Amino acid sequence: MEYFYIKGGDAANGEIITSGNKNEALPVIAASLLSSETVILDNVPDILDVRNMLEIAEDLGASVTRISKNKIEINAANLRNKPLDRELCGKVRTSVLFAGPLLARNGEVILPPPGGDVIGRRRLDTHFIGFKQLGAEYSVEGEGYEIHAEKLVGSDIFLDEASVTGTENVVMAAVLAEGTTLIRNAATEPHVQGLCTFLKKMGAKISGIGTSLLSIEGVSSLSGCTHTIGFDYIEAGSYIALAAMTGGELTVKDSARDDTLRMVLHTFGKLGIKTEKRGNDIFVPSQKMVVAKEMNNAIAKIDDGIWPSFPSDLMSIAIVAATQAEGTMLFFEKMFESRLFFVDRLVGMGAQIILCDPHRVVVSGASQLHGANLDSPDIRAGMAMLMAAIAAKGPSRIFNVRQIDRGYEAIEDKLLKIGISIERKDG
């Protein structure tokens, strides 16, 4: 079994370049099946989740060619009408995103249960509510789902929650539906915007991108195109927090080209994390982190929510950073009821954390962390524990590293370049 061996006590110094946005690349791969023409995708992160999505696409008849490490060509001219492979879909949560494209191209889809992180209930109701309003019917068969439609017809759809994957699936089905579709309460995250931009390059007619109201005028077919995946702001946030909590000086390249990180940096500021914008880069100076109390000397709070709120995918990262900040911080995880259960590992390393309930923890710092043997329960908690191990005194071993590999490209190579002693070992 592979594991990471971390010496501990290093500071992150130098420059780092983030990879392409995992959460944009995965739906874009699924959306490539909407066209019978060739699609070329650049800046695609070479991570396990991407490889799994490409494997599913190939199993469905798409031709996948890796032009280079981060550049991929996909052609779905010979798309098959077959059930999605249960074993392949069990490896990745976003296998559900093939439902929209297959429904639009083939008129039906048989979908096994998707895999992914176990961080709480992750309902699919929003996807099926949207499909039904476009004219599809669905049934639950065993542990899977059968969806079919004689014809997809545009509709005025109100999503019962601003689900990211739900919005993406309904958008992909709607672009080839007859007539106009309005999607209200749509998710607005950068990766949803990236998917919509990609679809427009293919010839889809979408307006309202970046807002909670999307208007889609259906077209009869989509063409091929070339698209570059945006930068991964979750990865950028992870490295910013790592530099601050280890006392290093780090430049995160090309992460300030737009306002994507604005809420992340604002929230990190509550932990005393200071950053500077230098052109298109973000610079993290060496610093002592001190929690900023709220008005009237109230205990500070960090909570997450739908965009543009602080993203849930950075809650684990912020919690481990808080262990190295002087002061007390309440964290309120609103979206997933099992995301916070990794904190017992941090407590075992010496962190002062109280788990109040499945959604709230209180962190008091700064704490001296000590090396330990750990396992990675999900992508983000895995990265958080890796950060804790780097800041700790003494060596650590982190097992189940495939979870981290699902979301962070060449993680040990990037960390070695910024002065972190880390090895990938078998044993």
Catalytic residues: 117
**Cα(first)–Cα(last) distance of the chain, in Å?**
5
Cα-flanking dihedrals φ and ψ of residue 250, to 5°? -135, 140
Of 394, 423, 389, nearest in space to 12 by CA: 389
What is the Cα–Cα distance from 28 to 387, expressed in whole angstroms?
A: 30
CA-based nearest residue to 382, from 417, 408, 355: 408
Classify residue 194 by burial, with Cβ atoms within 10 Å: 0-12, 13-18, 19+. buried
Residue found under tokens 């309440």 = 330
Say if residues 350 and 368 touch (Cβ distance below 8 Å): yes
Radius of gyration of the chain (CA): 22
**What's the longest Cα–Cα distance across the chain?**
64
Q: Are 185 and 212 in contact (CB under 8 A)?
A: yes
- Across the beta sheet with 63-68, the strand order is 63-68, 71-75, 38-42, 225-228
Task: Answer whether 350's CB lies under 8 Å from 367's CB.
Answer: yes
Task: Look at strands 281-284 and 276-278 and give their pairing.
Answer: antiparallel
Q: In angstroms, rounded to a whole number, what is the distance separating the alpha carbons of residues 126 and 140?
A: 15
DSSP 26-46: HHHHHHGGG-SSEEEEES---
Per-residue CA distances from 28 to 21, 42, 100, 197 (Å):
11, 11, 12, 10
What is the 3 state secondary structure string of 314-362? HHHHHHHHHCCCEEEEEEECCCCCCHHHHHHHHHHCCCEEEEEECCEEE
The values of phi and psi at residue 14, to 5°, are 120, -140
Distance of alpha carbon 42 from alpha carbon 140, whole angstroms: 37
